[in-house]
Amino acid sequence: MNSYSKSIEAFSRAIEVIPGGVNSPVRSCKSVGENPVFIASAHGAYINDIDGNSYIDYVGSWGPMILGHTHPKVIEALCNCAQQGTSFGAPTLWETQMAELICSMMPHIESVRMVNSGTEATMSALRLARGYTKRDKVIKFEGCYHGHHDSFLIQAGSGALTLSTPNSPGVTASTAKDTIVAQFNDFESVHNAFRLYGEDIAAIIVEPIPGNMGVVVPNRKFLQQLREICDIYEALLIFDEVMTGFRVAQGGAQELYDIVPDITTLGKIIGGGLPVGAYGGKKHLMDNLSPQGPIYQAGTLSGNPLAMTAGYTTLSTIKNNPHFYTELEEKSILLVEGIRENIKKTGVAAVCNRVGSMFTLFFTDSSEIKTYQDVCTCDTKKYAAFYSFSRDNGIYLAPSQFEAAFISIAHSTQDIERTIEANYNALMYLKNL
């Protein structure tokens, strides 16, 4: 059994000066009934806490660490960059070369604006869509998360087509009225929204592969129908690829499913572990942003040299390895098929969804997880017990049933085999509770 005494003490100290003791809510481990572990270091596929415990890491800083932690090329590039300066508030060549690389790897992006977070990217993309179309309403999907901007912290009203309501204090009713909530993988709910509000809808924003309610596999036809209805009503299609961009394929989910969005938002991997975000699309659309056009968006630290260097080095490393995604897929298949075999052996009621190197183990009696309603059938108490057992046995997972797990290129076959064995033991523990 691992000891967590130093982490418990550190959390008690943090809670005195930081709201809830954490700077992002899920880190508190509140939903799994645990205290968080405080991290001291990480390397490759492993993360180490201040009590000296080591874990095989499947959080990966919530997705960015696709190369693994402290990749030598990224660290070397960061050290060299920091010696030249960390921020200038002026144009640099780092920004241009990063934008050129993103455009070369994601062909549906011709022009890209750097920002500082995924939330900032989606917020700015939404403003661009509204400014370009001169419309106010936007469709989002139940269970999809696009950051903590007011327009996205919305829950559905009765039937999802009545006025929506805020799901956080501080979000005004007037903001909520412009957000329509539809159901993911259910095109009829989208069609109904357009029948009622079509001429007022500026955009659909969607995680093409939801990861913020756990990984839900999209129906390819559903994504294509979103593209088609946006074309019919001259609305814009925004793909939130903050999580999936460069994660599920070099060209993201839009490459995987052969869908062309109007605007793409990015984050996580493009910063190589540093704070970053971006949004991009066709040049004629992006040229509506100031100073070229009338739609305003700015950021003091946007495109800072450190984030650009870490991101550029990460993406270059991926691009220069023609076998990168093949190897990552092989590792992902090995792990998830092992977990699925464990589910069969133990008879525990669970479903493991995967797309590329993203996966989620859902504890549910349902035979499949395709919608937000399916996700809501999950047994969160069972996940909490699974999480605690896994952590005690050296496997670091998200402290929430409703999150994606991530595999990196640094995970070895031995790491994966050890994880499969630990997963079997955790499932047997649940079965015997």
How many angstroms separate the CA atoms of 355 and 373, rounded?
20
Q: Among residues 389, 403, 377, 398, which one has the least CA distance to residue 433?
A: 389
CB atoms near residue 353 (< 10 Å): 23
CA dihedral sign of residues 303, 309, 313, 319: positive
Classified as helix, coil or strand, 264 is strand
The verdict on whether 283 is a catalytic residue reads no
The verdict on whether 240 is a catalytic residue reads yes
- C-alpha 277, offset from chain centre: 12
CA distances from 67 to 33, 274, 317, 337, 347 (A): 31, 14, 9, 22, 34
Among candidate residues 4, 55, 58, 145, the one labeled active-site is 145
Q: Locate all alpha helices (DSSP H) within 323-379, ordered by sequence.
A: 324-346, 372-375
Q: Among residues 159, 311, 138, which one has the least CA distance to residue 237?
A: 138
Among candidate residues 55, 57, 257, 268, the one labeled active-site is 268
The verdict on whether 396 is a catalytic residue reads no
Among candidate residues 240, 262, 374, 415, the one labeled active-site is 240
Classified as helix, coil or strand, 249 is strand
Active-site residues, by number, are: 145, 240, 268
